[in-house]
Amino acid sequence: MNIRKVAVSGAGQMGSGIAQVFAAHGFSTVIYDVVPLQLDKSRALTERLLTRAVDKGKSTAEERAATLRNLTWTPDLSVISEADLVIEAIVERLDTKQQAWKQVDELCRPTAIFASNTSSLPITQLAASISHPERFIGMHFMNPVPVMQLVEVIRGLLTSDDTHQIVMETAQALGKTPVTVNDAPGFISNRVLLPLINEAIFCLQEGIATKEDIDMVMKLGMNHPMGPLALADFIGLDTCLYILEVLQRDLGEDKYRPAMLLRKMVQGGLLGKKVGRGFYDYAPGLVAAR
Ligand SMILES: NC(=O)c1ccc[n+]([C@@H]2O[C@H](COP(=O)([O-])OP(=O)(O)OC[C@H]3O[C@@H](n4cnc5c(N)ncnc54)[C@H](O)[C@@H]3O)[C@@H](O)[C@H]2O)c1
pLDDT, one tens digit per residue, over 212-227 is 999 999 999 999 999 9
Q: Would residue 286 count as lying in a domain?
A: no
DSSP string, 22-38: HHHTT-EEEEE-SSHHH
Are 24 and 58 found together in one domain? Answer: yes
Domain boundary among 154, 182, 210: 182
Question: The domain containing residue 23 runs over which residues?
Answer: 5-182
Asked if the structure places residue 290 within a domain, the reply is no
Instruction: Say whether both 196 and 175 belong to one domain.
Output: no
- 202 and 174, same structural domain? no
Q: Tell me if 86 CB under 6 Å of ligand 1.
A: no
Task: For residue 117, give the DSSP letter.
Answer: -
Q: What sign does the dihedral 95-96-98-99 (CA atoms) show?
A: positive
Residue 213 lies in a domain: yes
| Contact yes or no for 247/256 (Cβ under 8 A) | yes
Residues 212 and 238 in one domain: yes
Backbone angles phi, psi at 287, to 5 degrees: -65, 135
Among 145, 166, 182, give the residue marking a domain's end.
Answer: 182
Cα→Cα distances 14→36, 37, 92, 213, Å: 16, 16, 11, 29
Q: CATH number of the domain at 225, please.
A: 1.10.1040.10
Q: What is the pLDDT along the chain (290 residues), one digit of tens a residue?
A: 789 999 999 999 999 999 999 999 999 999 999 999 999 999 999 999 999 999 999 999 999 999 999 999 999 999 999 999 999 999 999 999 999 999 999 999 989 999 999 999 999 999 999 999 999 999 999 999 999 999 999 999 999 999 999 999 999 999 999 999 999 999 999 999 999 999 999 999 999 999 999 999 999 999 999 999 999 999 999 999 999 999 999 999 999 999 999 999 999 999 999 999 999 999 765 444 33
Classify residue 85: in a domain, yes or no. yes
Q: Which of 132, 133, 131 has the alpha carbon at shortest distance from 155? A: 133
Rounded to the nearest angstrom, the distance between the alpha carbon of 120 and the centre of ligand 1 is: 13
Is the distance from the beta carbon of residue 51 to the nearest atom of ligand 1 less than 6 Å? no
Which of 37, 99, 119, when mutated, tests ligand 1's pocket best, judged by the most ligand atoms within 8 Å of its CB?
A: 119
Q: What is the pTM (predicted TM-score) of this model?
A: 0.93
- Is 203 a domain residue? yes
140 is catalytic: yes
Q: Do 218 and 163 lie in a common domain?
A: no
State which ligand 1 atom lies nearest to the alpha carbon of 288: 20
Residues in the chain: 290
CA of 14 to the centre of ligand 1 (A): 6
Long-range contacts at 266-270 (CB < 8 A, ≥ 24 apart): 266/237, 266/238, 266/241, 270/237
Same domain, 255 and 147: no
Same domain? For 14 and 130 the reply is yes
Domain identity same for 156 and 215: no
Q: Is the CB of 123 under 6 A from ligand 1?
A: no
Q: Is residue 288 part of a domain?
A: no
Annotated catalytic residue 152: yes
* 67 Cβ closer than 6 Å to some ligand 1 atom: no
DSSP string, 225-268: SS-HHHHHHHH-HHHHHHHHHHHHHHH--GGGPPPHHHHHHHHT
The domain total for the chain is 2
